[in-house]
């Protein structure tokens, strides 16, 4: 069976298998020259393992696509030379010929978010201070991806030190949305999400403190999953939950699950199946009873998608948390600013302070104004929030919120100064909607809800109880079966258009 026949056959006879061996029934095969980049990561893995596509063919297809579109979208940075990558792909083919199979990512191209080191590649953190730094070793998560056979082709763009939900920095510039490169891709995993949305990457890793896996997912119509903070991170547990965590992104949920299976501390995400939605109870939190400023059209898109979920048998109710949301914001900013004091040495050194983005300087200065009493008070609020989440999850299987408060905006704008006539008083206030999940340390996945009249993308967050990661992922699998948002691909702009 040749490659074209393989794609045609799997597209026609997609089988319901485990995540480890799934062949999706939603393959996209437009032409022989582009079909390999249209395959999902899970299907591409099978094509390589079964030798229906060689690693060299796969690498060449992705390089051709990157060279055509990346100059416009700016998702992938610090690219390795083509000759080196094709040489590595050739060695991957030789290994397969010897029946040496490295793992599900055998010979697949991968680019790591530029907040993690990959041995031998540039590691800038998006900061001019580290513009020439080369990583000396792999991050532990990167090592896990390497051990599954991935070939690292470069890095994905991110804002300076990952600060802000807009992926721009003074070294590489801004990354555009896959659906309109003039608009932001979100952040801080903006390069990763755009790389997925444009099919320049099969799957992507990222990290999330304040929506950095979720917001780019919404702005590029892909899946971004923030796991419970003890799933991937070795220093996070249920009692002492981290504010941030690494996590996977995918063109669909199954691909995100495959990467999560790779990077998780205890890989136990195989054999997940779509959740049966009958009698599932969902608490729709909307704009938190008008507490949050929200651009018109976002709530409507979310509610239309929730109507589809309700039609499938779920019970959707509008709810309100028994919590003062301004207290939650105070808690969030206190803990976030206090954490920035770990970068105080850059602030105190005149040689490096001038290289810091203004928002980071502001955060450090806010941190300097805090004391132990402030931090203690914030942690009390956070613990009370845990209790409120437990109460809510005692009544509902999932809580749902929009993923962002604004649609993708021009990438020249660092952050929205107002939303629907309401002024934003900080550079991150416009992403306040994500802190409910972040402060809870709970699993949260972005699922797409479609597009507005201008073709701008949006998503909604599905939040689950701490530790209910499988259940959240199984909901997302079911959601994909009853919606078609992920099948709407962008009309890409090439460098020579």
pLDDT tens-digit map of 371-383:
999 999 999 999 9
Of 3-7, 245-249, 313-317, the least confident? 3-7
According to the 3-state scheme, what is the secondary structure of the chain? CCHHHHHHHHHHCCECCCHHHCECCCCCCCCCCCHHHHCCHHHHHHHHHCCCCCHHHHHHHHHHHHHHHHHHHCCEECCCCHHHHHHHHHHHHHHHHCCCCCCCCCCCEEEEECCCCCCCCECCCCCHHHCCCECCCCCHHHHHHHHCCCEEEEEECCCHHHCCCCCEECCCEECEECCEEEEECCCCCHHHHHHHHCCCCCEEEEEECCCCCHHHHHHHCCEEEECCCCCCCCCCCCCCCCCCEEEEEECCHHHHHHHHHHHCCCCCCCCCCCCCCCCCEEEECCCCCCCCCCCCCHHHHHHHHHHHHHHCCCEEEECCCCCCHHHHHHHHHHHHHHHHHHHHHHHHCHHHHCCCCHHHHHHHHHHHCCCHHHHHHHHHHHHHHHHHHHHHHHHCCEEEEECCCCCCCECCCCCCCEECCEECCCCCHHHHHHHHHHHHCCCEEEEEEEECCCCCEEEEEEECCCCCHHHHHHHHHHHHHHCCHHHCCCCCCCCCC
Look at residue 27 in the predicted model and tell me its pLDDT. 39
Look at residue 9 in the predicted model and tell me its pLDDT. 47
Instruction: Band the pLDDT of 238: cuts 50, 70, 90.
Output: confident
**Backbone dihedral angles phi then psi of residue 468, each to the nearest 5 degrees:** -90, 40
Question: Does residue 23 register a pLDDT over 50?
Answer: no
Look at residue 182 in the predicted model and tell me its pLDDT. 98
Instruction: Tally Cβ neighbours within 10 Å of residue 302.
Output: 25
pTM score > 0.85 for this model?
Answer: yes
Instruction: Band the pLDDT of 4: cuts 50, 70, 90.
Output: low
pLDDT tens-digit map of 41-85:
999 999 999 999 999 999 999 999 999 999 999 999 999 999 999
Look at residue 3 in the predicted model and tell me its pLDDT. 55
Look at residue 236 in the predicted model and tell me its pLDDT. 77
Look at residue 24 in the predicted model and tell me its pLDDT. 38
Look at residue 5 in the predicted model and tell me its pLDDT. 55
In this structure, is residue 494 part of a structural domain? no
Look at residue 18 in the predicted model and tell me its pLDDT. 38
In this structure, is residue 334 part of a structural domain? no
Look at residue 274 in the predicted model and tell me its pLDDT. 98
- Per the structure, the complete domain to which residue 29 belongs is given by 3-319+396-487
The CATH number that applies at residue 285 is 3.90.1300.10
Look at residue 25 in the predicted model and tell me its pLDDT. 34
Domains identified in the chain, total number: 1
Question: Does residue 336 register a pLDDT over 80?
Answer: yes
Look at residue 442 in the predicted model and tell me its pLDDT. 98
Of 162-166, 236-240, 321-325, 453-457, the least confident? 236-240
Question: Does residue 356 register a pLDDT over 50?
Answer: yes
pLDDT tens-digit map of 360-409:
999 999 999 999 999 999 999 999 999 999 999 999 999 999 999 999 99
The mean predicted confidence, pLDDT, of the chain is: 94
Cα 434 from chain centre: 13
In this structure, is residue 141 part of a structural domain? yes
In this structure, is residue 106 part of a structural domain? yes
pLDDT tens-digit map of 84-102:
999 999 999 999 999 999 9
Instruction: Band the pLDDT of 116: cuts 50, 70, 90.
Output: very high
Question: Does residue 304 register a pLDDT over 60?
Answer: yes
Q: Beta 151-156 vs 109-113: how paired, if at all?
A: parallel
Instruction: Band the pLDDT of 14: cuts 50, 70, 90.
Output: very low
Question: Does residue 10 register a pLDDT over 50?
Answer: no
Most confident of 32-36, 443-447, 492-496: 443-447
165-174 burial: b if 16+ Cβ within 10 Å, else e? bbbbbebbeb
Cα angle 388, 246, 182; round to 5 = 100
Mean pLDDT of 273-292: 98
């Amino acid at each position: 069976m040749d490659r074209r026949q393989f794609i045609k056959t799997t597209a026609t006879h997609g089988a319901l298998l485990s995540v480890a061996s799934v062949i999706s029934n939603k393959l996209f095969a437009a032409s022989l020259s582009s079909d390999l980049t249209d395959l999902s990561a899970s299907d591409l893995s099978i094509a390589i393992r079964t030798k229906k596509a060689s690693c060299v063919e796969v690498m060449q297809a992705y390089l051709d696509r990157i060279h055509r579109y990346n100059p416009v979208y700016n998702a992938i940075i610090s690219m390795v030379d083509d000759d080196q990558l094709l040489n590595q792909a050739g060695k991957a083919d030789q290994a397969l010929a010897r029946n040496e199979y490295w793992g599900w990512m055998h010979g697949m191209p991968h680019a790591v978010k530029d907040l993690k080191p990959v041995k031998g590649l540039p590691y800038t953190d998006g900061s001019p201070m580290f513009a020439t730094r080369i990583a000396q070793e792999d991050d532990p998560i990167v090592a896990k991806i390497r051990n599954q056979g991935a070939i690292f082709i470069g890095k994905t763009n991110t804002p300076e030190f990952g600060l802000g939900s807009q992926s721009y920095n003074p070294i590489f510039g801004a990354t555009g949305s896959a659906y309109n490169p003039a608009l932001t891709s979100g952040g801080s995993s903006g390069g990763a999400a755009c790389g997925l949305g444009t099919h320049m990457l099969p799957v992507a890793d990222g990290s999330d403190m304040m929506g950095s896996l979720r917001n780019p997912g919404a702005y590029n119509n892909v899946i971004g999953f923030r796991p419970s903070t003890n799933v991937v991170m070795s220093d996070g547990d249920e009692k002492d939950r981290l504010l941030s965590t690494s996590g996977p992104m995918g063109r669909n949920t199954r691909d995100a699950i495959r990467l999560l299976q790779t990077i998780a501390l205890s890989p136990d995400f195989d054999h997940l199946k779509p959740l049966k939605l009958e009698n599932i109870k969902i608490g729709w939190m909307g704009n938190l009873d008008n507490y949050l400023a929200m651009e018109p059209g976002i709530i409507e898109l979310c509610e239309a998608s929730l109507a589809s979920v309700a039609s499938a048998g779920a019970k959707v109710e509008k709810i309100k948390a028994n919590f003062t949301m301004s207290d939650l914001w105070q808690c969030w900013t206190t803990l976030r600013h206090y954490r920035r004091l770990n970068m105080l040495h850059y602030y105190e050194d005149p040689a490096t302070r001038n290289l810091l983005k203004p928002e980071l300087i502001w955060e450090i200065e806010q941190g300097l104004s805090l004391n132990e009493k402030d931090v203690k008070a914030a942690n009390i609020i956070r613990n009370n929030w845990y209790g409120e989440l437990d109460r809510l999850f005692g009544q509902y299987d999932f809580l749902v919120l929009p993923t962002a408060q604004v649609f993708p905006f021009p990438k020249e704008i660092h952050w929205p100064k107002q939303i629907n006539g309401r002024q934003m008083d900080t550079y991150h206030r416009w992403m306040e909607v994500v802190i409910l999940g972040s402060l809870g340390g709970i699993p949260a996945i972005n699922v797409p809800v479609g597009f507005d009249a201008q073709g701008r993308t949006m998503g909604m967050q599905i939040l689950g109880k701490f530790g209910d990661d499988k259940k959240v992922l199984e909901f997302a699998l079911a959601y994909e079966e009853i919606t078609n948002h992920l099948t709407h691909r962008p009309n890409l702009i090439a460098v020579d258009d």
